[in-house]
Amino acid sequence: METIIWIIQGLLAIAFLLAGIMKLVMAKNEIKEKVGGWVDDFTYLQIKLIGTAEILGAVGLVLPVLLNIYPVLTPAAAFGLLITMLGAARIHWKRKESIGLNILLSLLLLLVIIGRIYIVPVI
Calculate the alpha carbon distances from 111 to 14, 28, 106, 107, 117 in Å: 17, 32, 9, 6, 10
- Mean of the pLDDT values across residues 34-38? 90
What's the whole-model pTM score?
A: 0.94
Residue range 40-70, pLDDT digits in tens: 999 999 999 999 999 999 999 999 999 999 9
| Number of domains making up the chain | 1
Domain around 86 = 2-119
